Amino acid sequence: MAVPAASPHEPSYHTPTTAREAAALLARHGARGRFLAGGQTLIPELCRAPRALDAIVDLRNIPEFGRIQRVGDHIEVGAMVTISAARRALAADFPVIDTCFRHTANSAVRNRATLGGSIALADPASEISTFLLAYDAEVLLEGAGGGRTVAIRALLHVPLTHGTLVTGVRIPVPARDRASFTEFLRRRSGGRSLAMALARIAPGKTSVTVSGGVTQPVCLSGTSPSEALAALDARRADFESDAVRAWVVAAARRALAEAGA
C-alpha cells in the first residue's frame, strides 16, 4: 500500500505486507529506493540528504518479519526482530548471547535496530555477525529471483546486491557446548570494537570466531583450544596490522580460557 503522492522532493512511502511485495517495490524504483527497518542508518542519511531517494519501503507491516519460532532443531528469527528482543528470546538456548549483544551500541539502539538491518549493513565490528557466524547461521533472502538461503559464512564476504531483502535468520540450536564472549573497546571512538572473540568448546571440537579492525568475522576450529589458536595464527595476514592481530589473539585466548573454565 502506498500513501498519496509526495511532493517532487519527497520520496514515496510504501508499506508492503509480504516479502515478495517489498522486493518488487524496490526493484521498481532501482537504486533510488531503500528498505526501512529500524531506521538507525537510513533516517540519519535522509536527514543529511532528503532528496537522495525516490522511494522508501517500510518493512514493519510484514507479519513474519517479527516472529521468533523453533522449527525442528533450528530457531528462525524474523528480520524485523530487534536486537533487544532477540537477546531475550534466544538466551535460554544461547546463554552467551546476553554478554555478546550487551556490547552492541547502547540500549536505545538495541531497542530499535533490527537483526535484518544489522546483517544488511555488514559492519565488520559487529557482535551480531560474530554471533551468527559462531553458530553457523543461515540468512533467508528475498529478491527479484525469489527466496533463497545463504550461509552467513558466505554472505559476510559477498555484499548483498541492491534490492535483495534479508527476511530472517535460521540458527541451529547447539547440543552440548560451553561458550564465552570477549570484546575490547576503543576508549576514544564511541566505544567501537577493537577486537572480539566468541569461543565454543564441545566434546572433540573447539571453535573461536573473531573480528578485529576492518576484518569481517572469521571462524577457526580444531579439536582443542590450542588447535583453534594455531588456526588463528595461520590467518595473521587477514588483519590490517600487527597491533590489530595482537588484540584479536588476546580476545581469542581470553574467550577460550573462560569457555574452558
pLDDT in tens, 196-217: 999 999 999 999 999 998 888 9
Q: Which phi and psi (to 5°) does residue 67 adopt? A: -95, 150
Burial class (CB in 10 A: 0-12, 13-18, 19+), 203: exposed
Write the CATH number of the domain with boundaries 65-172: 3.30.465.10
> Rounded CA gap, 19 and 24, in Å?
9
Percent of the chain's residues with pLDDT above 90: 70
Q: Which residues pair with 222 in a beta bridge?
A: 206
Q: DSSP characters for 67-95?
A: -EEEETTEEEEETT-BHHHHHHHHTTT-T
Domain with CATH 3.30.390 in the chain: 178-260
- How crowded is residue 140: how many other Cβ atoms within 10 Å of its Cβ? 21
pLDDT at 254: 98
Inform me whether the pLDDT recorded for 109 exceeds 60: yes
Pick from 87-101, 111-125, 199-213: least confident: 111-125
pLDDT of residue 49: 77
* CATH architecture type of domain 178-260: 2-Layer Sandwich (3.30)
CA distance 154 to 255: 24
Interval 146-167: pLDDT, tens: 999 999 999 988 888 888 999 9
pTM: 0.91
Cell of residue 244, nine digits: 590489530
Structure confidence at residue 21 (pLDDT): 96
Angle at 56 between CA 51 and CA 57, to 5 degrees: 170
Model confidence band, residue 259 (pLDDT cutoffs 50, 70, 90):
very high
Residue 38 Ramachandran class (φ > 0 left, ψ -120 to 50 alpha, else beta): alpha
Q: 70 vs 44, which has greater pLDDT?
A: 70
Q: Please write the tens of the pLDDT for every residue from 28-43.
A: 988 889 999 998 888 8
**Fold of the domain built from segment(s) 12-58:** 3.30.43
Residue 144 is predicted with a pLDDT of 78
Please, where in the chain does CATH 3.30.465.10 lie? 65-172
Higher pLDDT, 143 or 198: 198
One-letter amino acid identity for 237? A
CB 96 within 8 A of CB 103: no
Quick one: 21 exposed, middle or buried, by C-beta within 10 A (0-12, 13-18, 19+)?
A: middle
